Amino acid sequence: MARIEVEKIVKRYDGVDGAVSSRPALDTVSLDIADGETIAVVGSSGCGKSSLLKIVAGLEQPDEGVVRFDGEDVTAVRPQQRGVGMVFQDYALYPSMKGKGNLSYYFQVQGRTEEEARARAKETADRMGIGFEQLLDQATDTLSGGQQQRVAIARCIVREPRLFLMDEPICNLDAKLRESTRVEIRKLLRKFGISTLYVTHDQQEAVFMGDRIAVMRDGRIEQVGTFDEVYYSPANLFVATFIGSPPMAVLPGIASGGRLTVAGGAVWPAPVELPDGPVRLGVRPESWFTGRGDGALLQVSHIERIPTERAAFVHGQVEGVPVVVAAPLNQPDSAELRIMPDMDRVYVFSADDERPLHTPGPLDLF
Ligand SMILES: Nc1ncnc2c1ncn2[C@@H]1O[C@H](COP(=O)(O)OP(=O)(O)OP(=O)(O)O)[C@@H](O)[C@H]1O
């Protein structure tokens, strides 16, 4: 286990013609992982998640910046010497070997006795929990994707890594298996308490896996925080719309004299004192009231009913802006709906630079 510090990392790759790309893949990225903490790194394709992971692993060298493990500068240390366990989307197990062989191979390569290798594999299997030992007697190419991923994790754990690096470990699994495997991985991470960097493009997975979430865009980290921090106090409009599913609606508006006039002409009280001028009003699906006379007019496109949640999402547009409204499961079908935000739960952003002018802060659930 270790505390990991990534400080002001810059990484540029050579372009197709050999010229160094003008836009760095990582642009002054800093991140701290506390001992035993899981940080989920999330962002769209190409934002630099894998590059960050590879630099922490030592598989890529940064152009600038430092990586430290427990205060020690490891930037120039080779990957094999960093004590890092890596789990990727393609399981990279040795296919002809049984699970057991995959666990003990490392010790054999290191010239340890067969007895020790067997003992360490057994100990890890016990720690992995019920049913795991049976998997080890099967050839890995006969295991399901989820089972192979568990063996891949065990293969890392057996080496007692200081840090886990996971790059989209479950994205190749079908939806049902993804759900159960992510629960399993999360349990294992909590149980072993190994510091982990977990990369995913799926914000719901990031929220589920991470003690904290690092939201990336175009080679930069936009915000690092707990779910409550990134959801209720986002650093900017990008983070606000990236985290949350379905996403927040963003309506252009004008603040004036303590009131907000939004697209379609609805006038609502401003949630706080705002400078007069154009703003953007952010409203999450759960923060709309329906059927209010002073509301904006939602042109409904379709209703998505989710029986397990006893809820529905009404999808539509207000003056061309996509809006999703959480409603009861028995929400009647209609072509239009009057909607009004709970003004205590809205977000207001600067119209110029995405900065938050007001965020609602965490919900008081209890
Ligand atoms: N070896 C490389 N050579 C040149 N460019 C690269 C190389 N690896 C990554 N890049 C570029 O660097 C940027 C960041 O890539 P990276 O793979 O880190 O992003 P990512 O967020 O992990 O994307 P994805 O989710 O699609 O895997 C991209 O523009 C990518 O094309």
Q: Is the CB of 51 under 6 A from ligand 1?
A: yes
4-238, CATH topology level: Rossmann fold (3.40.50)
pLDDT score recorded for residue 274: 94
Which atom of ligand 1 is nearest to 219's Cα? 14
Q: Is the CB of 289 under 6 A from ligand 1?
A: no
Cα 116 to middle of ligand 1, angstroms: 40
Q: Is the CB of 200 under 6 A from ligand 1?
A: no
Q: Say how many CA atoms lie within 13 Å of 215 toward its Cβ.
A: 22
Helix (H) or strand (E) holding 191: helix 175-192
- Spans of all domains in the chain: 4-238, 246-358
Nearest CA to ligand 1 atom 17: 50
Cα 193 to middle of ligand 1, angstroms: 29
Three-point CA angle 70, 153, 83, nearest 5° = 30
Token representation of residue 59: 């598989």
CB 173 within 8 Å of CB 205: no
Three-point CA angle 260, 266, 267, nearest 5° = 35
Q: For a pocket test of ligand 1, which of 27, 29, 51 has the largest count of ligand atoms closer than 8 A to its C-beta?
A: 51
Domain 246-358 in the same topology as domain 4-238: no
Distance CA 91, CA 154 (A): 12
Listed in sequence order, the DSSP H helices in 72-166 are 99-109, 114-128, 132-135, 145-157
Is domain 246-358 given the CATH code 3.40.50.620 in the classification?
A: no
Distance CA 40, CA 225 (A): 10
C-alpha distances (whole Å) from 161 to each of 33, 193, 222 are: 15, 11, 29
pLDDT score recorded for residue 95: 58
Residues in the chain: 366
Beta bridge partners of 73: 68
pTM of the model: 0.88
Nearest CA to ligand 1 atom 31: 46
Q: Is the CB of 48 under 6 A from ligand 1?
A: yes
pLDDT in tens, the chain (366 residues): 689 999 999 999 987 666 666 789 999 999 999 999 999 999 999 999 999 999 999 999 999 999 999 999 999 999 888 989 888 776 565 556 666 666 666 666 666 777 777 777 777 777 776 676 777 777 777 777 777 777 787 777 777 788 989 998 888 777 877 788 788 888 888 888 889 999 999 999 999 999 999 999 999 999 999 999 999 999 999 999 999 999 999 999 999 999 999 977 889 999 999 999 999 999 999 999 998 777 899 999 999 999 999 999 999 999 999 999 999 999 999 999 999 999 999 999 999 999 999 999 888 777
Distance CA 315, CA 299 (A): 8
pLDDT score recorded for residue 170: 81
Q: Please confirm whether the linkage preceding 246 is cis (ω < 30° from 0).
A: yes
Distance CA 212, CA 221 (A): 13
Nearest CA to ligand 1 atom 11: 25
Nearest CA to ligand 1 atom 9: 51
